Amino acid sequence: MFLSKQQQLAEIIRAAIKGGIYAPGSRLPNLRELGDTYGVGASTALQAVRVLVKEGLVTTQATGTYVNLKDVPLPPMAMRHQICAELRTKILDGTYPPGCLIPTSSELACSYGVSSATANQAVALLHADGLIEGRRGIGRRVRNTADWSPELTAGFAETRECEP
């Protein structure tokens, strides 16, 4: 059976959601990023996302496209999600304030006893949520709180700025 590019991309994203790569409540990459990652145009990525919206797997909001919180069969929390959840909490509570570097993937892998691939996946989830930004050779820094979506900061006090 022949699948169109949008159907192929929808299947890839669906598998990533069901496989736990995109956790319930997490934001998917934007249309341009999806297109660049999978070698399709933004319009094809939009059509794939629309398929997933019709299925009820994702929801689009003004701030992006998010995996729905219910009806997503996932395995028990994978280590990448545990690491991501702990780092997210440390970012939101100010342990890692805006402007500060978070631990490298190598440091996380060593601390948690996981592979560097698992640590990279955890960091990628934080990046997809918009909490961190990174540049090759510089590291990954916590983004300014003004750049965070309100959903990420709900229930957390204002964080302090990074001390030099």
- Domain 5-67 and domain 79-153, same fold? Reply is yes
pLDDT tops 70 at residue 154: no
Q: Candidates 1.10.10.10, 1.10.10.60, 3.30.365.10, 3.10.20.30; correct CATH number of 79-153?
A: 1.10.10.10
User: For the segment 4-56, what is each residue's pLDDT rounded down to a tens digit?
Assistant: 888 889 998 988 888 788 888 888 999 999 988 888 998 999 999 999 988 88
| Confidence band for 152, pLDDT divided at 50, 70 and 90 | low
Average pLDDT over residues 125-150: 82
pLDDT tops 50 at residue 160: no
Residue with more model confidence, 2 or 128 = 128
pLDDT tops 80 at residue 115: yes
pLDDT tops 70 at residue 159: no
User: For the segment 54-94, what is each residue's pLDDT rounded down to a tens digit?
Assistant: 888 888 887 889 888 765 554 445 788 888 888 988 888 88
Residues pairing with 140 in the sheet: 134
What integer pLDDT is reported at residue 157 of this predicted model?
Answer: 43
**CATH class as words, domain 5-67:** mainly alpha
Q: Environment class of residue 2 by beta-carbon count within 10 Å: exposed (0-12), middle (13-18) or buried (19+)?
A: exposed
pTM exceeding 0.95: no
Helix (H), strand (E) at residue 145: none
What integer pLDDT is reported at residue 3 of this predicted model?
Answer: 76
Give the start-to-end residue ranges of the domains of the chain.
5-67, 79-153
Q: Are strands 132-135 and 139-142 parallel, antiparallel or unpaired?
A: antiparallel
Helix (H, G, I), strand (E, B) or coil at 95: coil
